[in-house]
Structure 1
């Protein structure tokens, strides 16, 4: 059984934008100083991580939620 939470629609938007930018999650996090687990939290909806959410929305040009 898969213990991970499913990817949220917001998470798919993040993944789609990263794909459009031709960068993977790990590299994106390293470049911008974001802990990889926080990006994962946002993708799977397991934690709000408001500070990083705002930063990621700005960096990926996603609509503010």
Structure 2
């Protein structure tokens, strides 16, 4: 089944870092009190969700280039 929305470069940075940590999106969200739909919004670019974007960047230690991607 094809995706409804493509993954953004920032979304790929999130997915890549979660893979490095051997953690899936659901586990990451549960551990860090982030609604799953908000992380999904960040991955697809459906919403900016600045509050959660900053939190995800900090928690996953993403660099500025990935953050702006």
TM-score range, shorter chain: over 0.9
Aligned residues: 65
Q: CA deviation at 1:2?
A: 3.9
Which aligned runs of 4 or more in structure 1 are off by greater than 6 angstroms? none
Q: Which residue of 1 aligns with 2:4?
A: 4
Q: TM-score, normalised by structure 2?
A: 0.88
Matched, 1:55 2:55: yes
Structure 2, unmatched stretches of 5+, are: none
Alpha-carbon displacement from aligned partner over 1:12-32 (angstroms, at most 9, x marks no partner): 000000000000000000000
TM-score for both structures, normalised by structure 1? 0.93
2:31, 2:41 → 1: CA distance?
Answer: 18
| Residue correspondence of structure 1 range 1-65 to structure 2 within 5 A | 2=2, 4-64=4-64, 65=68
